[in-house]
């Protein structure tokens, strides 16, 4: 009996995994399985699909995948939501998956069905998948381009070094130059990013060290700063156009507000206003009760012959029209001063 080989936690049994993955294509010959650039792609074969690829809305992102879970488990699972056009699992150098994948269905409805079925799906005990719509970034941002490089040369180099370029937008200043490159697909942008990281510095030369990274979602106002738009075709070469300047308008600003509150924010704001009004009304009512009680106390003391004016000066309610108290000397000491009601106090035996 041959000895059993034990694989460490950082090593994948490639022979066993290959036999499991091979069964996917043997059982269904309408799909192909290839591995390239850190991802393994399970995709419809050319003879099994006619027409354009599904749109970006048909792709979902799958996260929180166990690192030892592969296509032989994931593909049959996600087929339950609809027909798969492509399934891409990200793989690292050790052979384990990187914890996420992309599944593209043939229709938008199937992608929505996959999100509904498999988001928070318990694939293992205490292990839930996360499934959401895929956001395909098709833009690459290149900064630190030598400012002396002509725009036509930048466009020509980007078309020569990468594929699926749709357009190049360039922004210039006195000492800097940057570009945003739009690609036809996310896959084309990902391949171009890897190629540009290695080739951009050598292509521009002169000690240039351009920085290449994914472009963040740009607002329309920010994109307008990239005024030069360049395209290249084999028939016409480089074509540069310049975005028109924004017309200066002297019309008064619109009367409509520049922001809107969400319904929950409006309700919260009204609730805070009502609570403040209720608090102010309660405080006013409490102050009125105190003033009424003090006035009745003063009148009662006056009816008992306790010196209405003097008692009002001591116990009068705030704001009442009373005679002002006698001015106190500068060295007034409340601990040794005579009590204002001393004449009405019966002296005790200790004071005799």
**Cβ-based neighbour number of residue 49 at 10 Å:** 16
List the alpha helices (DSSP H) in the chain: 14-27, 71-78, 108-118, 151-161, 186-204, 220-223, 263-303, 308-315
Q: What is this structure's pTM? A: 0.45
The residue with tokens 């384990």 is 96
Assigned CATH for 19-133: 3.30.70.330
pLDDT over 70, % of the chain: 70
* CB proximity list for 12: less than 8 A, separation 6 or greater: 68, 94, 95, 96
In the chain, what are the domain boundaries?
Answer: 19-133, 139-242
Task: Say which residue, 330 or 233, is predicted with more confidence.
Answer: 233
Could you report the per-residue pLDDT of 9-48, keeping only the tens digit for each? 456 677 788 888 888 878 778 888 888 878 899 999 988 8
Q: Do domains 19-133 and 139-242 have the same CATH topology?
A: yes
Could you report the per-residue pLDDT of 173-220, keeping only the tens digit for each? 888 889 999 998 888 888 888 888 777 777 776 566 788 887 876 666
Task: Say which residue, 351 or 265, is predicted with more confidence.
Answer: 265
Residue 60 · residue 131 · CB < 8 Å = yes
Give the domain 139-242 fold: Alpha-Beta Plaits (3.30.70)
Q: How confident is the model at residue 261, as a pLDDT?
A: 47
Split at pLDDT 50, 70, 90, the class of 274 is: confident
Q: How confident is the model at residue 352, as a pLDDT?
A: 47
């Amino acid at each position: 009996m041959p000895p059993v080989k034990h694989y460490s936690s950082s090593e994948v049994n490639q022979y066993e995994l290959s036999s499991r993955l091979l069964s996917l294509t043997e059982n269904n010959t309408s799909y192909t399985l290839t591995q390239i650039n850190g991802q393994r792609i399970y995709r419809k074969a050319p003879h099994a699909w006619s027409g354009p690829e599904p749109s970006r809305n048909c792709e979902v992102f799958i996260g929180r995948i166990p690192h030892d879970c592969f296509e032989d488990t994931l593909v049959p699972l996600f087929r339950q939501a609809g027909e798969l056009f492509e399934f891409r699992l990200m793989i690292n150098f050790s052979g384990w998956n990187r914890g996420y994948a992309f599944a593209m269905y043939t229709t938008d409805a199937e992608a929505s069905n996959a999100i509904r079925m498999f988001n928070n799906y318990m694939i293992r005990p205490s292990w839930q998948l996360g499934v959401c719509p895929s956001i395909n970034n098709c833009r690459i941002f290149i900064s630190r381009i030598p400012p002396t490089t002509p725009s036509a040369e930048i466009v020509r180099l980007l078309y020569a070094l990468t594929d699926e370029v749709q357009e190049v937008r360039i922004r210039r200043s006195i000492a800097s130059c940057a570009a945003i490159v739009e690609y036809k697909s996310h896959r084309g942008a990902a391949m171009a990013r890897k190629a540009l990281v290695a080739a951009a510095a050598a292509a521009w030369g002169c000690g240039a060290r351009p920085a290449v990274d994914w472009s963040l979602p740009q607002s329309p106002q920010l994109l307008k700063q990239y005024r030069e738009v360049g395209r290249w075709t084999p028939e016409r070469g480089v074509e540069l156009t310049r975005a028109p300047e924004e017309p200066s308008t002297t019309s008064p600003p619109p009367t409509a507000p520049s922001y809107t509150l969400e319904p929950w924010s409006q309700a919260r704001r009204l609730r805070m206003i009502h609570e403040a009004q209720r608090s102010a009304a309660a405080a006013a009512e409490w102050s009125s009760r105190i003033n009424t009680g003090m006035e009745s106390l003063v009148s009662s003391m006056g009816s008992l012959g306790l010196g209405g004016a003097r008692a009002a000066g001591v116990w009068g309610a705030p704001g009442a029209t009373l005679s002002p108290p006698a001015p106190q000397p500068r060295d007034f000491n409340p601990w040794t001063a005579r009590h204002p009601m001393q004449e009405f106090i019966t002296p005790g035996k200790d004071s005799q």
